[in-house]
Amino acid sequence: MRKVHAWIVVIGLGLIVSGCQSGEASEKTLEITFGHNQPLMSPEHAGAEAFEEYVESHTDNVDVNVYPASQLGSLREQVEATQLGEIQLTMQPTAMIAPFVDDIKVVDLPYLWPPDTETKYKVLDSEVGDEILATLDQGGFEGLGFWPGGYKLITTSNREIHEPSDLEGVTIRTMESPLLLAQYKQWGANPVPVPYSEVYNSLQLGIVDGQENPLQTVYLNNYHEVQENIVETYHGTMTYAMIANQDWYNDLPSELQEILVAAEEVGRNEAREVLAENEAEYRAELEASDKNFYSFTEEEIETFREASLPVHETEYNEPGQQELLQKIYDKIEEVSSNQ
């Protein structure tokens, strides 16, 4: 990345010198700060690098600086910094954006999405997905697209999970999301918000009994080292939204906005491809380990789904929210029937 930036600086200096010699003013380099929380080896970072490469190869004076692994602060702090315009772009879980824009939490409703990745992607990339993104302007954000994180799993230290009653009294770490807290309370668990950076230690010390995260997060952060049961529950997705400070975005020339939109699609698709490749590898590693790794049956998924539907009504209960939720239900059914 530094080599690319250095090259851009050299070219930029050359243009300045050339402009001065010809008596013409040179356009100043535009710096774009793009922060996210995922590690260097993650699909999200691969997508961020593809985004950076696309923007810089299609412009003469734009420099994208990507800061992975929470270098710019916690997940919530990066969302807030984007809202305030301290950074221009971030990619964060929708559950972390929900405290700033309540409507976006629809993406995280339990058992909203069928256990089929392509169906989920087609809905999120459709006009209904655009409507969900449009709600982000309520918080001063420009929603550019939905990035993948994978279906979330539940891991526990000492209890197998097959039905909601198995979670009775289990202390589960979640993100700081009222919706996720309500979800686990509905299932009888004891949810506890714990910062992302403290999850491993909390599991290791027994402060919490388990947690929820996608397969890649469990594997890359070594949560399986301190958890005995790893369950593919398909209860929800870790969906990321790429968001920009809206005032900053609206002030950009339309040509540059078009380049950012195209770059977002390139980055999103790269992240999805890398995730698919990595998940197969991580799943094989966990299946070959001494951990109790298993997936819910269709019957177990249906039992949990039925137990989760009240959360759809109580936590997404405004008239406008229920209207948007119905559109999502309908789009999921349409896409599923055409598969």
Alpha-carbon distance of 182 to 198, in angstroms, equals: 22
Alpha-carbon distance of 321 to 130, in angstroms, equals: 15
Quick check: 160 pLDDT over 50?
yes
Q: What is the pLDDT of residue 127?
A: 98
Q: What is the pLDDT of residue 256?
A: 98
Averaged over 255-262, what is the pLDDT?
98
Do the beta carbons of residue 28 and residue 236 sit within 8 Å?
no
Interhelix angle 117-124/319-337, rounded to 10 degrees, is: 130
CB burial readout 100-118, b (16+ within 10 A) else e: bbbbbbbbbbbbbbbbebe
Partnered with residue 244 across adjacent β-strands are 89, 142
Confidence of residue 41 (pLDDT cuts 50, 70, 90): very high
Using alpha carbons, select from 126, 16, 122 the residue that is nearest to residue 60.
16
Quick check: 53 pLDDT over 50?
yes
Quick check: 21 pLDDT over 60?
no
Quick check: 331 pLDDT over 80?
yes
Using alpha carbons, select from 160, 281, 157 the residue that is nearest to residue 216.
281
Q: What's the helix, strand, coil split of the chain in %, to 5?
A: 55, 15, 30
Q: DSSP H helical segments within 195-253, as ranges? A: 199-204, 215-220, 246-250
3-state secondary structure 78-139: HHHHHHHCCCCEEEEEHHHHCCCCHHHHHHHCCCCCCCCHHHHHHHHCCHHHHHHHHHHHHH
Confidence of residue 156 (pLDDT cuts 50, 70, 90): very high
Averaged over 129-138, what is the pLDDT?
98
Amino acid occupying residue 157: S
Weakest mean pLDDT among 1-10, 123-132, 207-216, 234-243: 1-10
Interhelix angle 43-57/254-287, rounded to 10 degrees, is: 150
Averaged over 311-318, what is the pLDDT?
97
Using alpha carbons, select from 39, 46, 47 the residue that is nearest to residue 68.
39
Quick check: 25 pLDDT over 60?
no
Alpha-carbon distance of 328 to 123, in angstroms, equals: 8
Q: What is the pLDDT of residue 27?
A: 72
Confidence of residue 4 (pLDDT cuts 50, 70, 90): very low
Quick check: 17 pLDDT over 80?
no
Quick check: 294 pLDDT over 70?
yes
Alpha-carbon distance of 50 to 16, in angstroms, equals: 28
Quick check: 6 pLDDT over 90?
no
